[in-house]
Structure 1
């Protein structure tokens, strides 16, 4: 290959960041590929790098599902926005802490990354394989991520964005009265949608936990 590749690693955990760097070094030696690596440990530093004059070819983005779709997390939203605008020019590999179906679905719809890796599934060999394939323009996803995709593709239930958000926030313990500002609907509209969701998932007269279980089985949360 023998081409310059600027790599940005946005990872809060130093050990994982180091593993990514080591995997890149191994691949660089095997493929005669020069990698100029920059590692940052928070989204503020990531924003500075993404706004710099340096053109990044490959970006690793670590995501915490508790903050990723929080409207108050402006730094997260800014990083997502910059990456969305740059998708034609970069290859994006995302690392997530847990298998959050709502997060995974939204990542595919918004960022459509070349790779999503679940950290608990990830061994060094898997990481190296994933990077090597992405550099060759071959997508790579963790086994658990592929399982999620199969479940969603086989599901014949269709939900709009508001319904998905309501399900997600309810499952996270957000109170109904606090949800209006998050989904931009009135309290009565949210209550109505919740009743329809219970009907859709055959969860009428059941506790909310039963609704969440059914939604999880179909890959929505």
Structure 2
């Protein structure tokens, strides 16, 4: 028998229930699925840390938009996926998200290189079942929207690294630029430079932080 240890992270319990039901109904006869779930970064982090010491996950499903951890260090499924790569290098990492902008997709692939990448609007229960079996044996599996983006030879320089994402997150939490240094180990001039780059990157013409946050949300960076 093949025992498969699974983590599913999504902030909507009903979506997780749908994923669980699909996998349980379509698993192979020789597969035993042990599924654990989390709805936020804190719970997911606890499960991941415990699993890394006891019984590592075989496959982890992460939604991108999640409630941040209480210490602010984990702000999304992207952060959880990157941490999983560090502490459980053999675990398959699958991203499930509503974000379907080309630059966001490319950003996630550059940052995480997931074993599976599914856009929720593409997904049916049969595709999830197919993707699951495919990822277990011959990853990667990308849904149609992701595959189409990758086939197009577009020039995508929109790449937001960890520090820039943290700046965006802190600004979105109401932290003023002048106090960002308390949260990020950079000089004020380096922070200002990054903010300018972000505004150029996200086509913020009026120069306002509010517009920067609005554009970052629209493009899926928050």
Partner of 2:94: 93
Partner of 1:24: 23
Deviation digits for residues 74-104 of structure 1, max 9, x if unmatched? 99867853442322x2212223354588875
- Over 3 Å counting, the alpha-carbon distance change for 1:49 and 1:122 in structure 2 is farther
Tell me the CA shift for residue 114 of structure 1: 0.8
Gaps of 5+ in 2: none
Partner of 1:186: 187
Cα pair 2:60 2:94 within 8 Å, conserved: yes
- Over 3 Å counting, the alpha-carbon distance change for 1:164 and 1:59 in structure 2 is closer
Deviation digits for residues 108-159 of structure 1, max 9, x if unmatched? 3454221123334433233223213212313223444456657895135777
CA distance in 2, matches of 1:99, 1:35: 33
Partner of 2:134: 133
CA distance in 2, matches of 1:40, 1:63: 15
**Aligned pairs, how many?**
214
**In structure 1, the residue corresponding to 2:68 is in which secondary structure?**
helix
Q: So what's the TM-score if we normalise by structure 2?
A: 0.65
C-alpha RMSD over aligned residues = 4.5
Q: So what's the TM-score if we normalise by structure 1?
A: 0.65
**How is 1:55-204 mapped onto 2 (pairs within 5 angstroms)?**
55-65=56-66, 67=68, 71-73=72-74, 80-87=82-89, 89-96=90-97, 98=99, 107-146=108-147, 154-156=155-157, 162=163, 166=167, 174-195=175-196
Gaps of 5+ in 1: none
**In structure 2, the residue corresponding to 1:64 is in which secondary structure?**
coil
Cα pair 1:102 1:168 within 8 Å, conserved: no
Deviation digits for residues 193-215 of structure 1, max 9, x if unmatched? 434555677766x344389759x
- Over 3 Å counting, the alpha-carbon distance change for 1:220 and 1:195 in structure 2 is same
Partner of 1:54: 55
- Once the two structures are overlaid, the 10-residue window that deviates more, 75-84 or 35-44, is 75-84
Deviation digits for residues 164-221 of structure 1, max 9, x if unmatched? 65466557765322432344223333224434555677766x344389759x78x977
CA distance in 1, matches of 2:159, 2:3: 44
CA distance in 2, matches of 1:102, 1:64: 16
**In structure 2, the residue corresponding to 1:113 is in which secondary structure?**
coil
**In structure 2, the residue corresponding to 1:59 is in which secondary structure?**
strand
